[in-house]
Amino acid sequence: MYKRTMFLAIAGAMIAVLPGSIAAQQAAKAKAAGLTPNCTANAPAREYLVTVGEWDTVPKGKDGKPAAYNDRGFVRAANSKLERYNFDPSTIIVKKGDCVTLRIHDLKGSHHNVTIEGTAVGSEGGPIIDDAGKTLGKAVARPNPNAFEGPEKLKAGEFVRGEQVMVKFQANQPGTYRMLCEVHTFIGPNGELRGYDDKGKPVQGPMVAYITVLP
Ligand SMILES: [Cu+2]
C-alpha cells in the first residue's frame, strides 16, 4: 500500500509539472483505461440485467387537484408531469479484473443510450439481443423500429422500448464510474448531472447508475 501510495504521489507530481494540456490528456487516458470494451481471456465473468424504469407523478394539492410546484429550483405549472428515468439496479459493484456484461432492457421511455463517462464503453454500435442472448441487430444510427412512437430516426447507441442492448467491459481500475443515458441527462459545466438543460427544459433525468470497481 505504501509503495503504491508513493508511486501515485510521484506520478501525481510528474503529471503536475507537465504542461496543462498534456497532463489533462494523460489523466483522460488513464481514466479511459479504467474500463475497456474488451475482456482478456479467463477474466471472471459477471452478468447483470438492468432495466430502464421511470418514476413519475403529477403533484396535487390538498384539494386533490393538480397544483403548481417547484422541482429542484424550476417552477412547474399545475398538471406538469414530474418524471425521471432510472436504471435498475442503479448501483453495480464488481471487482478489479472482472469481465462485466450488462444486459440493458428499455421498459419505459421511447429511447435511451448508455455511455460510461470517461471511457470508451457504451451502447454505441453494441449488439441488440433477444432474451436468449442471440444478436438481433446493432445499436447504430437507424430508423426507429417502433413506428408507433418517436423519434423517427435513432442516433448511434440509442435503443428503444422492448429492445435489450448488451454492454460489455473489463474493469481495470478501482473507482466509481457514472453510467449515463445522454438522452435524459444534462451535464453542467462542472460535470454535475442535471435534470434540466441550460435553457431550463426538463430532460427527465439525470439518468445515471454508478458502477463501483473494488480493488
Ligand atoms: Cu434515457
Give the whole-angstrom CA distance, residue 22 versus residue 28. 10
Give the whole-angstrom CA distance, residue 133 versus residue 154. 22
Using pLDDT thresholds of 50, 70 and 90, give the confidence band for residue 161: very high
CA of 123 to the centre of ligand 1 (A): 12
**Are residue 26 and residue 60 in the same domain, yes or no?**
no
Arithmetic mean of pLDDT, 7-34: 68
**Are residue 175 and residue 196 in the same domain, yes or no?**
yes
Give the whole-angstrom CA distance, residue 85 versus residue 55. 6
Average pLDDT of the chain to the nearest whole number = 92
Q: How many CA atoms lie within 13 A of 202 on its CB side?
A: 16
Q: List, for residues 87-144, the tens digit of each pLDDT value.
A: 999 999 999 999 999 999 999 999 999 999 999 999 999 999 999 999 999 999 999 9
CA of 83 to the centre of ligand 1 (A): 12
**Are residue 74 and residue 53 in the same domain, yes or no?**
yes
Please list all protein residues whose beta carbon sits less than 5 angstroms from ligand 1, which is an ion: 85, 112, 181, 183-184, 207
**Are residue 18 and residue 104 in the same domain, yes or no?**
no
Total tally of structural domains belonging to the chain: 2
- Measured CA distances, 181 to 87, 112, 155 (Å): 9, 6, 13
Using pLDDT thresholds of 50, 70 and 90, give the confidence band for residue 3: low
**Are residue 95 and residue 41 in the same domain, yes or no?**
yes
Domain that holds residue 18: 1-32
Q: What is the pLDDT of residue 152?
A: 97
Q: What is the pLDDT of residue 90?
A: 98
CA of 172 to the centre of ligand 1 (A): 26
Using pLDDT thresholds of 50, 70 and 90, give the confidence band for residue 17: low
CA of 151 to the centre of ligand 1 (A): 13
- Measured CA distances, 199 to 73, 75, 186 (Å): 13, 13, 11
- Measured CA distances, 177 to 18, 35, 208, 211 (Å): 26, 9, 10, 5
**Are residue 81 and residue 4 in the same domain, yes or no?**
no
The three three-digit cell numbers of residue 106, written as one number? 428499455
**Are residue 133 and residue 161 in the same domain, yes or no?**
yes
The CATH number that applies at residue 94 is 2.60.40.420
Using pLDDT thresholds of 50, 70 and 90, give the confidence band for residue 4: low
